[in-house]
Structure 1
Amino acid sequence: MLSKCPSSPRPTRESPLERLENRTNLQHGKSNYCRKVWTRSDIFLPTKSCSVTLLQHGFTWTSWIHFAVHIQIFELEHEAAWSSGPFLHGDTLWLAIYFGFIAMSLMFMDEDEAMRAGIPLDDTSELVRNWYDAALFFLNEADFTRNPNFKTVQAIAILLGLAKNVGDFDLEPVIQAAGIRIGQILGMDCEPPRISEDPVIQEISRRTWWTLIICEWLSIPTRPPCIHEADFNVRLPMTLLDEELSTSLINEPSMAIEGPRPINYHSALISLAYSNYRFRVQMVAMKDLQGDNLMEDLVLNTDEALANIISQLPSHLLGDSDDQTTASKQYPPWVLWQQTTLSLSFLNYRMKINRVLQHRWASSSDVLLARSKAICLDSANAIVSLVKQHKVALARHRPWATTSALFSAALTLAAEAKDLNKHASKEYIDRIRTCLSFFEYIQDHSALAIRALEDLSAFCKELL
């Protein structure tokens, strides 16, 4: 049973690895991000046909990452925006959502897809940054901090998936907290959500709210949460496709035909976020208590909870990644991507949770500690292997979370290698080089990869 958490928990003392991870991801790190969109004339506006292509690509590959829009409604709004006067002089908050959406869609395109789409700039990385800036420009023009609006929360939920990729490290946690607070003002934190009487909009509100909670409770670096589970009452999203929300199924979701749904991914991340949140809160709660056994029990119980979540995932998210051909024929194209990213996420948090005991591994022969060490190192090795296996796909999509997980795995393996002789550490060093190679491969498109490459090289200087 989860004990009551303090209203303002203080963070526990960081380990050296956590300090480095935090510095690389954000904490006390210097952000060199330079805003380039100051007026509408600075925005690279796509043609309408290019815009339609970007939307369709996003509906397949990115809309289920943030779940901030309803596909059919967004398509109608998009058509209206192009047919009702100058596009860039439309609803400012809708434009914030739009530019965030197409920026993420473009980030998930390869060069051939971008060329066929007819994007207005050859440098896709610069264009992603331009559209990211455009989204923030329209948020600021709407004076979003003084005028609470659901569209603001939708835009923020999308931008959270872009900020670290474009290098806007300092803004990401600020708009994340702002999105949660604005959502509370609007009544998105209660059941039913107070933002609308329309059940479809209420369901989009739930999805968007949970996106913010996932980002907050799985934040990297870890920080005291600005919201706790006792602070809101929002039911889990329905397992329905967007088009099904506009049918009678919204009142009877259990009647929907079984099959892979993008929302299954969202539900899995919610479970992961809950587990990680409770682990962190209890870590803080026991900071003044004596005895290592308490921490060992917490790590064991949390790891078992994560393993249980994994075992209950829908079959399409547990597919055999080795059988790519069969899976690609059996499932929609986004399923394999969801399998890979979920695997990385669960491996990453199992690694980090067990790594809490790393300072005791060498000084104890305890069976529980040996188990924890094995899970941690096996998870780190599995992350590296998974990224190596899916290098092209992961590099193509460039989500910052993949870079962060790989960096964490590399640090974990490097810390262990430093305690081994040259022969025993060789396998670890080979895996670290794999990580460095991946960061080099994507650094032109990921500001976080640039940081990871520099910091990992410095940390492993004696090993390499």
Structure 2
Amino acid sequence: MSERTPDRSGVRATQRPPRACIYCSSRKIRCDKVLPCSTCRARGQAETCRVETVRVKGRILSTDSEDGAQPSYTDLLEQTKKLKTLLWQQQAASTPPSARDGGRGPPPGSCYRMNTVEEFEKQLYRSIRSSYRYTTVHTTSEILFPSAQCARLLLRYGMQWMWIHSAVDQATFDREVTTFLDKCRIIEPVQAAEPAWLALYFAYLTCTLLMMTDEEKVRVGLPYTDANTVLGNWYDATEYFLNKAQFMRVVDIRNVQTIAILKECCPHFADFNRFYHLLACAVRTSQVLELSNDNAHPDETAHETQVRRRLWWSLIIGDWLTFQLGPACIQGDFFVEMPTDMDDRRLEPSYEEIASLTHRPIQWFIAMSRIACALYRFHSSLPFEHEDRRLLLDNIQQADEELANLISTLPPHLQADEAETSITVERDKLLPWIPWQRRSITVMLFYFRMVIHRTLLKYDCGDVISKKRAVTICQDSAHGIMSTILGPQGVVFRQNVW
């Protein structure tokens, strides 16, 4: 019997079952072989997308067959409904029946956790994410490359602030920049390095420029008189070279480093869409490179371990602290210890002037990591909306105690109530990153304490005393944020990154 000859039942016999749907097969067009296929979905006929019923070696195979045919669109919808029901059952099982509303659960598909995002915040983020800035760089001729002297000055200035992103090994990056500038004496800059490195280079310059005062920007000799124009140009140049490096396809740690730096710059440009998508991409690329697994690097040196951990936790800080956008990574996705609280001179021996034995930039980074973990645990442990709202009180109390414990263990120079003496004033002048760290972490703690306690008010749970306490904490935190930023030591321009 030939492949085209049907049997008495009218079912065609063939040696191989078809994989393309009937519509695509009859019109001899390409089918993606996933039911419903993209062609049928595009023409609005997803429910009719089926594979032809055939007889193979005496057995009749159809779309609905359990022996190897693919499920129909209706089958997939039914499977999705069943999986949602199973998911709710597993999540509900983690809470004692006595803690639920009479032991009754919600209908399948309605198991949503309580959240801390207010409606005005949702509207704000929707508004910001619905608009975007147009890039100023489309070709390399539009990029404002800094002179060698300007680049070296920016690199030296950036040494004081690289702990904000902790994306690069400063000594290694310094050597790479020197090699690049030497090559630029002979060939064009775009030919002196690969696109992935050039993206990292311009991301570093952009973040450094953000932290500078107007006077400092003038002294470095920027390639254009308007510093804001240069800032936007370098920001867009980073995106240009990232795309040239095909960061969505090519697994390269330099792309991860670039995004780790760029995430500090995106808020300045209100570029939250790029921030959200780039951060998710960097997390996934890091997982492919196994940066997220300490056990996958048995042969790396202690120095390499610290560099890798700092890069990974830089991504986690950016991911978990921007809870309004939703996390790209969950706690079970990685096994990486926090960076060690060591003197930077042991990690970056070339830059002794930015560190001291008692005041280490990495201490701020570790504190930010701990805050990110505390906030993530709070959000992930919030009760489901159908559950007893009294459970929320326990979560708020635990989160508040965790933040209080974190504050009590901060180094003295990061404490908001550190006594001001002639020694601390002189120290802050010598190490300007200390007052910036103290202000930024103080603002962060005020804000997240307000976020935690306003959840109680949002869901109207607790007694009158609990609600009054929550209102007081929210008001005090709001006043604390304003007084910290606009106080006598406030340096607003350096809060742009935060």
TM-score (norm 1): 0.76
1:83 is aligned to 2:182: yes
Distance 2:207 2:138 in 1: 20
Distance 2:313 2:297 in 1: 16
Give 1:347 shift: 0.4
CA RMSD between the two structures: 2.8
Q: Which residue of 1 aligns with 2:413?
A: 316
Which amino acid is the alignment partner of residue 121 of structure 2?
Answer: E
2:240 to 137, 140, 157: 137
Q: Which residue of 1 aligns with 2:482?
A: 384
Aligned positions of 1:53-68 closer than 5 A: 53-60=153-160, 62-68=161-167
- Per-residue CA shift, 1:427-464, capped at 9, x if unaligned? xxxxxxxxxxxxxxxxxxxxxxxxxxxxxxxxxxxxxx
Distance 1:324 1:340 in 2: 17
Is the Cα–Cα contact under 8 Å of residues 69 and 154 in structure 1 kept in the other structure? yes
Q: Which residue of 2 aligns with 1:269?
A: 368
1:32 is aligned to 2:132: yes
Distance 2:424 2:190 in 1: 42
Is the Cα–Cα contact under 8 Å of residues 344 and 360 in structure 2 kept in the other structure? no
Give 1:114 shift: 0.5
Which amino acid is the alignment partner of residue 226 of structure 1?
Answer: A
Shift in alpha-carbon separation, 1:330–1:352, aligned structure 2, 3 A: same
Which amino acid is the alignment partner of residue 278 of structure 2?
Answer: I
Shift in alpha-carbon separation, 1:54–1:279, aligned structure 2, 3 A: same
Is the Cα–Cα contact under 8 Å of residues 171 and 348 in structure 2 kept in the other structure? no
Shift in alpha-carbon separation, 1:263–1:87, aligned structure 2, 3 A: same
1:207 is aligned to 2:337: no
Give SS of 1:377's match: helix
Q: Which residue of 2 aligns with 1:234?
A: 336
Give 1:177 shift: 0.3
Give 1:19 shift: 2.5
More helix by share: 1
- Per-residue CA shift, 1:210-234, capped at 9, x if unaligned? 01111111115242x2221111100
- Per-residue CA shift, 1:233-279, capped at 9, x if unaligned? 001112234441267xxxxxxxx984111110111011101110011
Aligned positions of 1:349-368 closer than 5 A: 349-359=448-458, 366-368=464-466
Distance 2:496 2:182 in 1: 33
1:293 is aligned to 2:396: no
Structure 1 unaligned segments of length 5 or more: list them: 248-255, 402-464
Is the Cα–Cα contact under 8 Å of residues 26 and 221 in structure 1 kept in the other structure? no
Give 1:377 shift: 1.4
Greater displacement, 256-265 / 125-134: 256-265
Give 1:133 shift: 0.9
Distance 2:111 2:348 in 1: 44
Distance 2:341 2:194 in 1: 31
Distance 1:113 1:243 in 2: 26
Give 1:203 shift: 1.9
Shift in alpha-carbon separation, 1:246–1:29, aligned structure 2, 3 A: closer
Is the Cα–Cα contact under 8 Å of residues 26 and 170 in structure 1 kept in the other structure? no
Give SS of 1:357's match: helix
Distance 2:405 2:453 in 1: 16
- Per-residue CA shift, 1:178-213, capped at 9, x if unaligned? 010000000001014549835433321110100111
Shift in alpha-carbon separation, 1:38–1:270, aligned structure 2, 3 A: same
Shift in alpha-carbon separation, 1:11–1:126, aligned structure 2, 3 A: farther
2:209 to 85, 88, 106: 106
Shift in alpha-carbon separation, 1:10–1:234, aligned structure 2, 3 A: farther
TM-score (norm 2): 0.71
Which amino acid is the alignment partner of residue 104 of structure 1?
Answer: C
- Per-residue CA shift, 1:58-97, capped at 9, x if unaligned? 111x311100011111111110011124323212212111
Shift in alpha-carbon separation, 1:198–1:37, aligned structure 2, 3 A: farther
Give SS of 2:475's match: helix
Is the Cα–Cα contact under 8 Å of residues 191 and 235 in structure 1 kept in the other structure? yes
User: Structure 1 vs Structure 2: percent identity of aligned residues?
Assistant: 29
Aligned positions of 1:330-349 closer than 5 A: 330-331=427-428, 332-349=431-448
Give 1:295 shift: 0.8
Give 1:51 shift: 0.7
Give SS of 1:356's match: helix
- Per-residue CA shift, 1:311-356, capped at 9, x if unaligned? 1001111164672754231352211110000000000000111011
Is the Cα–Cα contact under 8 Å of residues 160 and 176 in structure 1 kept in the other structure? yes
Distance 2:142 2:110 in 1: 43
What number of residue pairs does the alignment pair up?
Answer: 382
Aligned positions of 1:416-455 closer than 5 A: none
Shift in alpha-carbon separation, 1:9–1:340, aligned structure 2, 3 A: farther
1:22 is aligned to 2:119: no
Give SS of 1:316's match: helix
Shift in alpha-carbon separation, 1:241–1:55, aligned structure 2, 3 A: farther
Which amino acid is the alignment partner of residue 134 of structure 2?
Answer: C
Give SS of 1:148's match: coil
Aligned positions of 1:182-221 closer than 5 A: 182-192=285-295, 194=297, 197-221=300-324
Shift in alpha-carbon separation, 1:75–1:35, aligned structure 2, 3 A: same
Give SS of 1:46's match: coil
Give SS of 1:73's match: helix
Shift in alpha-carbon separation, 1:13–1:44, aligned structure 2, 3 A: same
Shift in alpha-carbon separation, 1:320–1:80, aligned structure 2, 3 A: same
Aligned positions of 1:160-175 closer than 5 A: 160-175=263-278
Distance 1:22 1:324 in 2: 43
Q: Look at both structures and tell me which one has the larger radius of gyration over its CA atoms.
A: 2
Shift in alpha-carbon separation, 1:50–1:215, aligned structure 2, 3 A: same
Give 1:357 shift: 1.6
Is the Cα–Cα contact under 8 Å of residues 70 and 204 in structure 1 kept in the other structure? yes
Is the Cα–Cα contact under 8 Å of residues 55 and 102 in structure 1 kept in the other structure? yes
